[in-house]
Structure formats: structure tokens, C-alpha cells
Amino acid sequence: MAHNEAFRSYLQEGLSKFGMHFGSSRNGSLQLSIFEEAERAFSAFTNTQSALLVSSGMWAGQLVMKEIENIVHTSVSSQSFKYHYAPKVHPALWGKDYLSNKQSWNEWTAETVSHINEGTTNITHIICSDAIGSPLVEAFDFSFFGQIENLSNVWLIIDESHSLGVLGSKGDGIASGLPPNIRHKTIFVSSLNKALGIPGGAVYGSQEVIDTIRRSPWFAGASPTAPAYISAFNQLLAHDIYIVANRYLKSQISYFSQKLGESSLFKTVADYPVFCSQNLNLFEYLLDNGVMASFFSYPSPTDPPITRIAISTLHQKEDLDHLAEVCLK
């Protein structure tokens, strides 16, 4: 998106109108309507009731984690809280009682659902997970959570930073694939700086949740994303630029996947632009052949590095042909 001509034009318009930045609180006496306009457009794009735009995806997650118990208390009285953190969940969702989890995602999900169903009703369960595995790509089956028998004391928080703009019928993420009985108890957070190209983040979900976070001192005390970018974001949503780009991205993924064939070199999932490998020699091999991949330890510096190749709408067919040729040698 950083090279999208429409985006560049909309951003220039925004810079002319709003300047380079806005360092005040959004709850101050001077309030710019462009933020709320873009939030309405974004909630429509994601098929959620409401949304709140903040300065980053990391802050979106931490804002929710700081306010989740206040959010819960607006709708139910609970004596205690139990947090369930998915394996390798992003640090944006690390909160109270966080412990690293070495289980597989499916094992953890089955254990979590069983624990909730067998527990007492005076405990509120907070389930935290990424929408898709990262840095090693892995699809997650959220239908497991549809087996929870009593959802009155359960909340699901999902980090969509690596799915928003990519997955879903129009790049709108994974919400439509959630079990209907838990979707209304789900809070989404995401960076907008991945597929969507906006240096900011978002929290989206029910109106009640967003209203509670909007009143939070953690929200009031933080400066927002530069309004010029939010103005461009609003225009990109209004003119379906992301939907068009998402269609092209999926055609790029399909083209490269066909060229690559049934290779065992990478791990990926359907319609996803990231191809991963745990082969420690692959990065240097690709670099020697003119291909720059991602290769670093994450989230901990002691984690084994993973080679990640990301297909984008900026790549030319010649780039994808060369990449496939190199990987097939």
C-alpha cells in the first residue's frame, strides 16, 4: 500500500488539510471529526458495531488488556478472572498472569474449552489469541470455542494484525468465520500498519466495549495517529481500494503457489501471502540469489529464527517467477 497511487494522493490531501501530526488527546476540547468518520467506515468494513482508532497495534492490544476487567464489569458481576493465553500469542495481548505456553494451538483450545465447561459460573474467562499463527504460519480453528456451554462469563480477544486486509472475502479478517454464539463476546485488536499501510492500530467489536474503552484514561492520555493518515484511511475505505488490492493480492498468491507447486520447503495456509521455513540455511541461500526474506528471532531473542517470504501487490510476475525458480533449485 505504501506505493499505491490513490493512497499517496489521499495522504497528500490529508497533509494539506490536517498538517503533519496531532499531538493532543482525542478527548480534548479540539476534536477532529475525521477520526470518528474513519471509525464508522472501518467498523462497516469489518462488520462490527463500532471501532476505535489508536496509535499502534501494540497499544490497541495493551489498551484492551488494561481495561478488560472494567469492560466485563459493565455487563456482568464476577468474583474472579481467569486468563487463557494461546501458544505464542503476540505480546500485545500479554496481560495479567501471563505465562508462556508450549502446547499446540489445538491442544490448548481443547483444554481451555474443557476447563471453562467444567468450572464454576462465578469466574470470568478471558481468552487471548492471535487470528493466525506467526511467525510460523498456522491456521487456527476458532469453531472449537463454539463448544463452550455458557458464554455469559467468557470473552475472546483476538489480535488480527496478521489477518486484517488479507483473510476474509474482502480482506475484512476472520470475524465472519467465528461461531455466531461467541462473535458478540469477541473483541478484536489489530495493527493497521501491516496489510493496510496505516501507521496506527484499532480496537473493534460491540458498541458497549468501544464506549467503555473510549472513556478510559489510557485512551484519553495517548496521542492518536496523525489525522492526515486517518483521512487517507477513510478515503481508501470509502472507495474500496483495499477490496480491489485484496483481490489482486489473492491472485498473486495463487500465481506463486502454482509456480511453486507441491514444495515441502515452505509452510503456509490457503490464500495467505506468507511462506515460512525453519531451514536455517535458506535465508543466506535466498540472499545469494537476489531474494531478501525476513529472518530473525521472535518474539524472544532466544527463539529459533524463521525465514519468512511475503508476497505483496507490489511484486511483478517476473519477481514471483524468479522466486519460484530459486526455491525449486
DSSP 138-187: EE--GGGGGG-S-GGGEEEEEE-TTTTTTSSTTS--SGGGS-HHHHTTEE
Cell numbers 506467526 label which residue?
134
CA distance 48 to 39: 11
With beta carbons less than 8 A apart as the criterion, state whether 171 and 242 touch: yes
Over 70: is that where the pLDDT of 78 sits? Answer: no
The span from the CA of 169 to the CA of 186, in Å, is 20
Cell representation of residue 181: 454464539
The answer to which of 56-60, 245-249, 286-290, 303-307 has the lowest mean pLDDT is: 303-307
Residue among 293, 295, 280, 281 at smallest CA distance from 323: 293
Q: Which pLDDT tens digit goes with each residue over 56-65?
A: 999 999 999 9
pLDDT(51) > 80: yes
The 8-class DSSP code of residue 107 comes to: H
Q: Domain coordinates of the chain in residue numbers?
A: 5-238, 241-327
Per-chain mean pLDDT for the chain:
94
| 235-263 residue pLDDT tens | 999 999 999 999 999 999 999 999 999 88
C-alpha cell at 246: 485484496
**Architecture of the domain spanning 241-327:** Alpha-Beta Complex (3.90)
Banded model confidence at residue 302, pLDDT cuts 50, 70, 90: confident
Tens-digit pLDDT profile for residues 12-24: 999 999 999 999 9
Sheet holding 274-277, edge to edge: 274-277, 306-310, 294-296
Using the predicted structure, report yes or no on whether residue 299 has a pLDDT greater than 80: no
> Per-residue pLDDT averaged across 272-288, rounded?
95
277-286 mean pLDDT: 94
The CATH class of 5-238 is alpha beta
Question: Does the pLDDT of residue 76 top 70, yes or no?
Answer: no
